[in-house]
Structure 1
Amino acid sequence: MTSNTSALELIQAIDQADSSDSLLDAVEALADARLEEATPTLIAVLSYNNPGAAVAAVDGLVQLGEVAVLPLLNLIDDYNYGGRAWAIRALAGIADPRALETLLEAAEGDFAMSVRRAAARGLGNLRWSKMLSSEVHPAQKRVFQALQLTSQDQEWVVRYATAVALQGLGGSVRVSQPDLVGEIKAELEQMLATDADLAVRTRVQLALKQLEEVEN
């Protein structure tokens, strides 16, 4: 069986699904196949009113990686809100810097807690090696500014994701921008001193510990 034949059959299974369970099974099978031809169908599933299938589609798109980035970005404004939220989760998981502006916008202003959380975490995992070297430092500083904002989010899960992201960003810039590492650690110290949630403070402590170990 060729990959084209396999993709066609797997896509047809999604089109022919007659229940939520059968749709979920079909999407999971398509995602597991890791076929580039599946990208448009997985993206379409994000707008279905089926959270389980959307989760499976996000997982599949993250596994496909770079090939899914431009299709997601090109269609993101055409989604209904639910589809857009799932698309942002996929972009955050892929961590391609072409999604930087979309992730910044989502982290700073999306009304859905889960989207802000995913976007914040995604900002800490961006693969900077995929960006033009001349653009990296300004972009990293912009990410830090966004994370300073999300560190004050009213939802603890977003602040928790921010601590994770600050740790990731700190690890990325420890050699190239030591001054920024100092600012990141200062932000984490501020969170440790002021955040009301124990889970957030505990994760902040871990982030500080990990950054100290990396420096040493």
Structure 2
Amino acid sequence: MTEPDLLKILLQDIAEADSATRMVAAVERLAQAQLEAGVPHLITALGYNNPGAAVAAVEGLISIGQPAVEPLLELLDGYNYGARAWGLRALAGIGDPQALDLLLDAAANDFALSVRRAAARGLGTLHWDELPPASIVPAQAKVVEVLVTVSQDHEWIVRYAAITGLQELAIASTVSHPDLTRQILLRFDRLVEIDDNLAVIARIWLAQKTIQTHIHEILSQQPILEQQISILHNNSNANDWQATLEKLYARKRQSQPYPEGDPHKFREVAAAIFRGE
């Protein structure tokens, strides 16, 4: 069966669906087919007022990947905030940096909390390596600026999403831009002091712990540091990981630094800290 014939059958199934359950099943079949020609129809399904169908459509769009990005950017419903939120989830799942400006605007300015929430989460999942190298740091800095603002949103669920986005960005920039990671960690310290929602505070603690684990994983991959790391884990005085991170990112770069993004930069700073310098 040719793709056009298959698409025709799948769209007929959607047109003939006479219940919410059958609609979900029909959209799932279209999503599973992973037809590029089906992308506009999956985007249409985001606005059916059927959460199950929307979830299936989002999963289908993510599985299709990059070919779905431009149609999403062009066809995203500006009047249906539910469809916008689902569309942003799809863009976040794909992670194409083409969606950066849309996500920034939606996170900062959209009136719908579901849209702001989806955009804030999506800003942390972009594939930064798909940007030109010179554009990565400025783009990440812009994302941090917006997410820091969103972390003060009046809706706790949006603040929660902003923490998730900041966590993912901190992990992504640990080696390539450690100062940005430090900035995010400092922001988390401040948010713990000022936020009054227990769910948000718990999410901040989880983000801090996740970043800590990530940093230790990076350090454990460096043979030169294995002994120092072992000492760190066995030394109760060194278990204050927040203080360790503060030292790590407060270190000044050497007079002749490595190129931006070189892992040696991170490794040498860490080694100096564990030697107690």
Look up the match of 2:113.
113
Look up the match of 1:181.
181
In structure 2, relative to structure 1, the CA distance for the partners of 1:79 and 1:30 (3 Å cut) is: farther
Is residue 2:92 matched to residue 1:88? no
Residues in 1 aligned to 2:19 and 2:29: alpha-carbon distance in whole angstroms: 15
- Which structure shows the higher helix fraction? 1
Look up the match of 1:128.
128
How far does residue 20 in structure 1 lie from its aligned partner after superposition?
2.6
Look up the match of 1:103.
103
Give the total of aligned pairs: 216
Q: Where in structure 2 are there 5+ consecutive unaligned residues?
A: 217-277
Q: Where in structure 1 are there 5+ consecutive unaligned residues?
A: none
RCO greater where, 1 or 2, for CA within 8 Å and sep 6 or more? 1
Look up the match of 1:53.
53
CA displacement, residues 165-206 of structure 1 (integer Å, 9 cap, x when unaligned): 111000111111111111010111111122111111111111
Residues in 1 aligned to 2:199 and 2:82: alpha-carbon distance in whole angstroms: 28
> Max radius of gyration: which structure?
2
Look up the match of 1:26.
26
The one-letter code sitting in structure 2 at the alignment partner of 1:151 is S
In structure 2, relative to structure 1, the CA distance for the partners of 1:207 and 1:80 (3 Å cut) is: closer
Look up the match of 2:252.
none
Residues in 1 aligned to 2:178 and 2:214: alpha-carbon distance in whole angstroms: 12
CA displacement, residues 116-158 of structure 1 (integer Å, 9 cap, x when unaligned): 1111011011111111212111100000001101110111111
CA contact (8 A) 1:107 1:120 kept: yes
In structure 2, relative to structure 1, the CA distance for the partners of 1:29 and 1:71 (3 Å cut) is: same
Residues in 2 aligned to 1:85 and 1:208: alpha-carbon distance in whole angstroms: 27
SS at match of 2:42: helix
SS at match of 1:138: helix
How far does residue 77 in structure 1 lie from its aligned partner after superposition?
5.9
Look up the match of 1:160.
160
The one-letter code sitting in structure 2 at the alignment partner of 1:48 is Y
SS at match of 1:174: coil
CA contact (8 A) 2:81 2:115 kept: no
CA displacement, residues 75-95 of structure 1 (integer Å, 9 cap, x when unaligned): 236654443333222212222
Is residue 2:66 matched to residue 1:71? no
Residues in 2 aligned to 1:148 and 1:29: alpha-carbon distance in whole angstroms: 40
Look up the match of 2:229.
none
SS at match of 1:125: coil
CA contact (8 A) 1:47 1:79 kept: no
Is residue 2:138 matched to residue 1:138? yes
